[in-house]
Amino acid sequence: MSDRPAGGFVSRDGVRLHVLRWESAGPALVLVPGLGQSAHVFRELAPALAGDFRVIAFTPRGHGQSATPTGDYTLEGFADDLRAVLDGLQVERAIVVAHSLGGTVATRLAVRSPGRVRGIVYLDALHDYGRWGEVMMRNPFPPPPRPDFGDRDATRAWMTRYVPGFWCDALEADLKAHAWTDMASWRSELVMGLLDDATVHPTPYAQLRCPALALVAAESLRTQFGWLQPMEGADRERAEAYLRTVREPWRRASEARFVREAPGARVVRIDGGHYFFLTARDRVAAEIRAFASSLTPLDT
């Protein structure tokens, strides 16, 4: 199986949506990126799955090589885009693997079109966005602002040092896929409405009718404040207190709601930060394969 995917587009109501495909005879598995990223961010995870699945990575509207219409930048709209990708590629049912805010999109697709989703794997995607702003504001050592749109080199350097704190081929491909003109700033204004939507409308886990697995980051001083290492004295105490009393309770409360509400839900912690599917690729791929193998005939 080649690591190089086939690229293409699917349209919904005239809006071109970019996809990458690693074709095989296996069951369909669709990868959904988080806010601000494209199908290219999965260029390292997808080949690790392609021997067992027909892997399709989807780029939402306003991102990467997909079109940038003026409307439908809502979680429901993105779920409709994802369903259009399934329709356009003649996928009747799929396992959906979604990163970050993409998890809310996957959930809405499964709730609105339960016959299309065999199961969901969430990749660090259980955040309670209603409290996200508060948690970020209480961070004692936030990274500096991201560089202005249009400066690709500065963006690469910022991401390598701060978020996610490393660099790899998939992130490079994702970076190159984005617009670097005035379009980039306009796109940002459009898609940020998704965060507002997620803040007002919590992810409806209780309405799921398919199995669900959440792989979540096992955060640490290294993953959250890597650019400040080694931390010592009062700074280390403040950072540890933030993780222990603010960030960790926020994350655990989100996980508890997921387990309480989603049928048969399970949570597995993976060492690493928010992008652990790139740093722990083989472990993540193994968890996805095991989840797929656990689906009963009723889920297929």
DSSP 213-240: EEEEEE--HHHHSGGGPSP-HHHHHHHH
- For residue 179, the enclosing domain spans 6-299
How deeply is 262 buried, as exposed, middle or buried, from its count of CB atoms within 10 A (0-12, 13-18, 19+)?
buried
Interval 7-27 mean pLDDT: 96
Tell me the β-bridge partners of 17: 10
- pTM, whole model, 2 decimals? 0.96
In a domain, 11, yes or no: yes
For residues 198 and 129, the answer to whether their CB atoms sit within 8 Å is yes
For residues 205 and 140, the answer to whether their CB atoms sit within 8 Å is no
In a domain, 126, yes or no: yes
Is residue 192 over pLDDT 90?
A: no
CATH for 23: 3.40.50.1820
Tell me the β-bridge partners of 18: 9
Q: How many domains does the chain have?
A: 1
How deeply is 295 buried, as exposed, middle or buried, from its count of CB atoms within 10 A (0-12, 13-18, 19+)?
middle
Dihedral over Cα of 248, 249, 254, 255: its sign: positive
Q: In whole angstroms, what is the distance from residue 12 CA to residue 185 CA?
A: 24
> Could you tell me where the DSSP H helices lie in 41-168?
45-49, 75-88, 102-112, 132-137, 152-161
Is residue 179 over pLDDT 60?
A: yes
CA-only gyration radius of the chain, Å: 18
- What is the per-residue pLDDT for 25? 87
In a domain, 1, yes or no: no
- What is the per-residue pLDDT for 183? 63
Q: In whole angstroms, what is the distance from residue 6 CA to residue 169 CA?
A: 17
How is residue 281 written in tokens? 């690729």
Q: In whole angstroms, what is the distance from residue 205 CA to residue 111 CA?
A: 9
Q: In whole angstroms, what is the distance from residue 91 CA to residue 107 CA?
A: 18
| Backbone φ and ψ of 171, nearest 5° | -70, -35
Q: Which amino acid is at 190?
A: L
Q: In whole angstroms, what is the distance from residue 123 CA to residue 29 CA?
A: 14
| Backbone φ and ψ of 120, nearest 5° | -125, 135
- What is the per-residue pLDDT for 178? 86
Neighbours of 59 (CB within 10 A): 28
Percent of the chain with pLDDT over 90: 85
Is residue 297 over pLDDT 90?
A: no
pLDDT bracket for residue 16 (50, 70, 90): very high
- What is the per-residue pLDDT for 209? 96
Nearest to 276, CA basis, from 191, 170, 157: 170
- What is the per-residue pLDDT for 191? 76
Instruction: Output the average pLDDT for the chain.
Output: 93
Interval 166-170 mean pLDDT: 97
How is residue 37 written in tokens? 């990223």
User: Sheet containing 6-12: which strands, arranged edge to edge?
Assistant: 6-12, 15-22, 54-58, 28-32, 94-99, 117-123, 212-218, 266-271
In a domain, 37, yes or no: yes
